[in-house]
Structure 1
């Protein structure tokens, strides 16, 4: 039996015939905030190299609460908790840096960012020195979650992660690259967020080769606040479940679900938020794959686009003085502001739909863009705040 091998031109001609138009891409293509070209269909393209996770399986991280010791292997610590054995512990509070005592049975990771706020625009040497003296597996966190929650594009997030890494290398030397945890917030664009994490693996690996290393980034991914709303909090559960799935499939080494309730949080809502991860991992087993979307022509293509555009922007930032220099000048803030305002306008116009906010029901606008955003500051803003 022989098969006819169809070319891309054959497929295009068939689609033109079905749609009765010559301009099929204008009809089938859809705009996106990232300016990524998404094709209506794909033919086999070059397969990218599979990059593994650092961890064998993704850690399901719970915010510590009594009674979860037997159910959770990994905890996020905002305070010092004693008598925990054989756990992966993610230290989230800079006040703990001086006081936490590492236990040989536990594994410790820092989620503490040593970059001072945008008004100072510098690396906190004292905090960094304190963290580097600790017997953590990973001592320094490069936190990009704030940028996502402030409205930065995926390309900007990837670029800033690389740019902050470059600043750390200049300060502490190339060995610092092996001590980093990258903290990402995961948004609602399911396949784009998968591609975001995949692209960062390639970018960081390429970046490390500039210093004669061949490293895979350690990625901690958490659910975003950007698309969450006060009204109908159960909708937030659906959004965060998709975000957790994106993170696991994209290859995060650890995932964490923020409380799905914006207001009136309870111990139960905290527990439910964590157990979303458990259901996904145990029912779908998606936390064990190295690269589940490898070979998907669509995901491979947008991964490549994200990587290329982010690398280009990274080089531009470096040519203009680097991340901290542009932060001092207010340029990073303006970049994020412009992207965030554009995203907010899409929500206001209904191009981005949020159930219970601008759709089913459609709430009235209560706050203006000027009230929500500041071009001189990187601050987290939820899209629904315009209507709350």
Structure 2
């Protein structure tokens, strides 16, 4: 039995006939905030390369609370907890990092970022020295979750992660690249977020080759606050479930779900948030694959676009003196501000839909974008705040 091999032109002719128009791309294309070209259909024209992750199986990270010791292998700690053994510990507090009592059977990772993300723009060398003296597997966090929650584009997030990494190599040498944990917040654009994590693996590997290394980044991901709402908080569970799935499919090394009831947190809501990960991992097994979306023509194509455009922005930042100089000049803040205000306008216009906020809202009162954002400051802003 033989099969007819159809060309892209054959598919285009068929679609034109079905839609009764020559302007099929105009009809089928949809704008996106990243200005990434998204085609309505794809033909394989690129080689597929599996993008590995550092961990064999994605860690499902829980915020520590009594009773979860048997259910969770990995914990996010803000304060010291005794009697934890055979766990992966992600340290989220500077004081804890300095004073934690380590146990040989545990693995320790620091999420502490040593950059000041304001116009003071410096690396805390004292804190860096304290962290680098610890016997953790990874001592330094590179946090770009703040940028996502402040409204930065995916391309900006990736470029900032690279630029911060480059600053660290200039300060501490290329060996620092093997001691980093990258912290990303995962947003609601499902396939774009998969491509974001995949693209960063390409980008970091490329950066490491500039220093004669061939490294895989260690990626810690968490659910975003950007698209969450106080009203109808149960909707946040659906949003964060998709975000966790994006991270696992993309091959993140660790995933963490922030409390879906962020404004009215309880032990129960924290446990439910963690168990989202359990359901995804144990019922779909997506946390064990290295690169589950590899070979998807769509995902491969947008991964390539993100990687190319992020690397270009990274080089532009380097030409201006690097990440810290761009912070001091206000360039980073301005980039995020412009992107965030544009995204907020899409929410206001209904191009981005948030159930219970701008779609089927319960409240009419709202703030303006000027009240929410400041061109001189990188700060977390939820899109739904305009309607709360």
Query: Do Structure 1 and Structure 2 share a fold, with TM-score over 0.5?
Result: yes
**Alpha-carbon deviation of 1:48?**
3.4
Q: Deviations over 1:133-169 (max 9, x none)?
A: 0000000000000000000000000000000000000
Structure 1, 114-123 or 166-175: larger mean CA deviation: 114-123
Q: Contact 1:142–1:164 at 8 Å: present in 2 too?
A: yes
Deviations 1:146-205 (A, max 9, x none): 000000000000000000000000000000000000000000000000000000000000
Deviation at 1:45, TM superposition (A): 2.1
The equivalent of 1:249 in structure 2 is: 249
Q: Report deviation, 1:47.
A: 2.6
Between the aligned partners of 1:81 and 1:119, the Cα distance in structure 2 is 35
Residues 131-280 of structure 1 mapped to structure 2, 5 A cutoff:
131-280=131-280
Cross-structure match for 1:65? 65
Distance in 1 separating the partners of 2:210 and 2:226? 34
Is residue 2:317 matched to residue 1:320? no
Q: In 2, distance between residues paired with 1:202 and 1:48?
A: 13
> CA separation in 2, counterparts of 1:238 and 1:44?
32
**Cα distance in 2 between the residues matched to 1:55 and 1:225:** 26
Matched, 1:39 2:39: yes
Tell me the alpha carbon deviations over residues 367-388 of structure 1, each in whole angstroms, 9 at most, x when there is no partner. 1111100000000000000010
Aligned length: 388
- CA shift at 1:365, angstroms? 4.4
**Alignment partners' CA distance in 2, 1:48 and 1:308:** 17
By how many angstroms is 1:262 displaced?
2.5
Residues in 2 aligned to 1:274 and 1:3: alpha-carbon distance in whole angstroms:
47
Structure 1 pair 315–48 and aligned structure 2 pair: CA distance change class (3 A): farther
d(CA) in 2 for partners of 1:365 and 1:210?
Answer: 52
Secondary structure of the corresponding residue to residue 98 of structure 2: coil
- The residue number in structure 1 matching 2:386 is 386
Cα separation, 1, equivalents of 2:214 and 2:98: 32
Given that 1:47 and 1:300 are in contact with CA atoms closer than 8 Å, whether structure 2 keeps it comes out as no
Check the 8 A contact 1:47/1:294 in 2, yes or no: no
**In structure 2, how many angstroms separate the alpha carbons of the residues matched to 1:162 and 1:221?**
16
CA separation in 2, counterparts of 1:94 and 1:293? Answer: 36
The Cα RMSD (Å) is 0.8
Q: Deviations over 1:224-274 (max 9, x none)?
A: 000000000000000000000000001100000000012221100000000
Counterpart in 1 of 2:125? Answer: 125
Question: Residue 14 of structure 1 aligns with which residue?
Answer: 14
Name the residue aligned to 1:98: 98
The alpha carbon displacement at 1:119 in A equals 2.7
Secondary structure of the 1:120 match is coil
For residues 365 and 347 of structure 1, the distance between their equivalents in structure 2, rounded to whole angstroms, comes to 15
Instruction: Verify the 8 A CA contact 1:73 1:87 in the aligned structure 2.
Output: yes
Q: Deviations over 1:74-93 (max 9, x none)?
A: 00000011110010000000
Distance across 2 between alignment mates of 1:3 and 1:274: 47
Q: How many Å separate the matches in 1 of 2:135 and 2:301?
A: 40
Which region of structure 1 is more displaced relative to structure 2, 340-349 or 357-366?
357-366
Provide the C-alpha distance between the structure 1 equivalents of 2:198 and 2:205, rounded to a whole number of angstroms: 11
1:114 and 2:95 matched: no
d(CA) in 2 for partners of 1:215, 1:255? 21
Post-superposition offset of 1:361: 2.8
State how far apart, in whole Å, the 2-side matches of 1:3 and 1:215 are.
42
In structure 2, stretches of 5+ residues that fail to align are none
**Take 1:47 and 1:113, find their aligned partners in 2: how far apart are those partners?**
36
SS of equivalent to 1:26: helix
- Cα displacement string for residues 264-288 of structure 1 (whole angstroms, at most 9, x for unaligned residues): 2110000000000000000000000
The residue aligned with 1:349 is: 349
Using the alignment, how far apart are the partners of 2:97 and 2:2 within structure 1?
66
Quote how far apart the aligned CAs of 1:71 are: 0.6
Q: Give the Cα separation in 2 of the matches to 1:329 and 1:131.
A: 28
How far is 1:96 from its partner? 1.2
